[in-house]
Chain A
Amino acid sequence: MTNQTKSQFIAVASITSELSAVMVVAKEISLAAANAKAIAFRAGDKAKGFQPITDFINELAKETIELVTNINIYALVLYRLTVNEFQKTVAYNKFELASKMAGDAVYAKSMQEPVEHAKLSMQDCQRQFKRDVSQLLGQLEAVMHHARAARVIAANSRIEASQAGEYLQSLQAVAESVDKAAHTIHDNVQRCRIALSIYRNS
């Protein structure tokens, strides 16, 4: 296995692991939203400004989960593509070797077609991988966007919480956990993007 193939396998595997962490955190946000909703309900008028925010947080968490689920399916496709590319590359190298070893054999030339064919399918795989990576990067960008939005909401929540009287502390805690979660998502997704960006279609 060449280093290029190895790092491609690692990049694809790292997406899956980073994303499973994102999934956990997104579920935490969704839980925090439910929690906040209950508190805001109890706080009544004192947390009026907080109520629409909890819905928004919940929505955002749900969308993030959905996005990540889709990306995971994509990552699996990418993994299969990597396996395929690896097999095609092995075949191409072996065919070339066979062709070289055949030397002046009577039918040595007949190996040209399989060699050419293997080369084309290997290149096909490489192109398709680049194309799919570009699309995946686009989807990851969408998750980043959600994470940034969540941080803005967290900031707003803090302001709203400050007017919630005795509920200040618990609402602030909600805002804190949303902010932290959004931060984690942002970092993880960023790592995925860096791992993949070298394969992007230039």
Chain B
Amino acid sequence: MKMTKIYEGSHQWIMFGRDEGKPGNIIDTNQYVVRTANRCLLLDPGGAELFAPMMAAVLHHAPVDQITDLFASHQDPDVISSLGLWDQALTNAKLHAPAFWEGFLRHYSCESIEYVGIPDNGGTIKLESVELQLIPAHYLHSSANFHVYDPQAKILMTGDVGAAIEGPDTPVFVENFSAHVEKMRHWHQRIMPSNQAKRVWIERVRNLDVDILAPQHGRMFKGDDVKRFLDWFDALQVGIAV
């Protein structure tokens, strides 16, 4: 598992991904970790297949008992089918996930972990002195969906928005935006169902100060590429399969 520190301040953001040991037939995912002095939050911790390499990678940054919080942007298996394993490994942890999906996500087993349902209008996760905002991103692509914004690090974790499906050795940041566009087009047109939801989300995100836009698949967008992505996404027609 490749680890890339993407923010270092009073706390840290680390991106995990490009796992070499991953079976070829499952989608490659990016996991993000927010690390404060004594706590650790895993954003979209990944599928069951990824549990062991992910846990092993996190152990370079935090001991197990300091993994206190998990976040699931939505209910997809590539996001959180590892829940049942985290549930057995962690004591006193919380899962922050859409309230709407609680009855669904509990199918993965969530007994010792406390399910903290995020209401439709969003909320926050407090990690010691760090306060992360949970930004509603419903219908992008899941009907109950949230993104995580860190105003201090200026990072917006966007789940499946901004994703691209590429090979295992892909760089972690977009280097040439116009070349990258073709890798994103079909994914966004096919997986995102609603132009209206997209418009509302873009408006919301344009009001945030974002340095890094961090999707769950593919490459992150940095600096001016964030604005480029928003403009490109704004102009894109989605929900094309009907």
Segment 44-68 of B: residues with Cβ below 8 Å from A: 51-53, 55-56, 59-65
Given contacts A114-B89, A118-B88, contact A94 B52 (CB under 8 A): yes
The contact of B109 among A87, A108, A121, by CB within 8 Å, is A87
Q: Are B85 and A94 in contact (CB under 8 A)?
A: yes
Task: Label chain A's interface by main secondary structure.
Answer: helix
Segment 176-225 of B: residues with Cβ below 8 Å from A: none
Q: How large is the interface on B (under 10, 10 to 19, 20 to 34, 35 or more residues)?
A: 10 to 19
Q: Are B84 and A87 in contact (CB under 8 A)?
A: yes
Residues of B within 8 A of A107 (CB): 59-64
- Nearest CB in chain B to that of A109: its residue: B63
- Distance between A101 CB and nearest chain B CB, rounded to angstroms: 4
* A85-98 near B? 1/0 per residue, CB < 8 Å: 00110110011011
Task: Label chain B's interface by main secondary structure.
Answer: helix
Q: Are B62 and A95 in contact (CB under 8 A)?
A: no
Tell me the complex Cα distance, A95–B63, Å: 14
Question: Which of A98, A101, A106, A121 is most buried by chain B, counting CB atoms within 10 A of its CB?
Answer: A98
Tell me the complex Cα distance, A90–B84, Å: 10
Given contacts A105-B60, A118-B88, contact A110 B53 (CB under 8 A): no
Residues of B within 8 A of A113 (CB): 64-65
Residues of A within 8 A of B59 (CB): 98, 102, 105-108, 110-111
Q: How many A-B residue pairs have CB under 8 A?
A: 64
The contact of B53 among A95, A101, A114, A118, by CB within 8 Å, is A101
Q: Are B60 and A114 in contact (CB under 8 A)?
A: no
Q: Are B60 and A98 in contact (CB under 8 A)?
A: no
Tell me the complex Cα distance, A93–B64, Å: 17
Residues of B within 8 A of A108 (CB): 59
Q: Are B65 and A105 in contact (CB under 8 A)?
A: no
- Nearest CB in chain B to that of A112: its residue: B64
- Nearest CB in chain B to that of A117: its residue: B88
* A62-84 near B? 1/0 per residue, CB < 8 Å: 00000000000000000000000
Residues of A within 8 A of B52 (CB): 94-95, 97-98, 101
- Distance between A9 CB and nearest chain B CB, rounded to angstroms: 18
- Distance between A83 CB and nearest chain B CB, rounded to angstroms: 10
Q: Are A91 and B85 in contact (CB under 8 A)?
A: yes
Q: Are B64 and A114 in contact (CB under 8 A)?
A: yes
Contact sample, A vs B, 5 pairs, CB 8 Å cutoff: A95-B52, A100-B56, A105-B56, A105-B59, A114-B88
Residues of chain A having any CB pair with chain B under 8 Å: 87-88, 90-91, 94-95, 97-103, 105-108, 110-111, 113-114, 118, 121
Closest 8 CB pairs of A and B: A110-B63, A101-B56, A98-B55, A107-B63, A102-B56, A97-B52, A105-B59, A98-B52
Sample of 17 further A-B pairs with CB below 8 A, known A91-B85, A98-B55, A99-B56: A87-B88, A90-B85, A91-B88, A94-B85, A97-B52, A98-B51, A100-B56, A102-B55, A106-B59, A106-B61, A107-B61, A107-B62, A108-B59, A111-B59, A111-B64, A113-B65, A114-B88
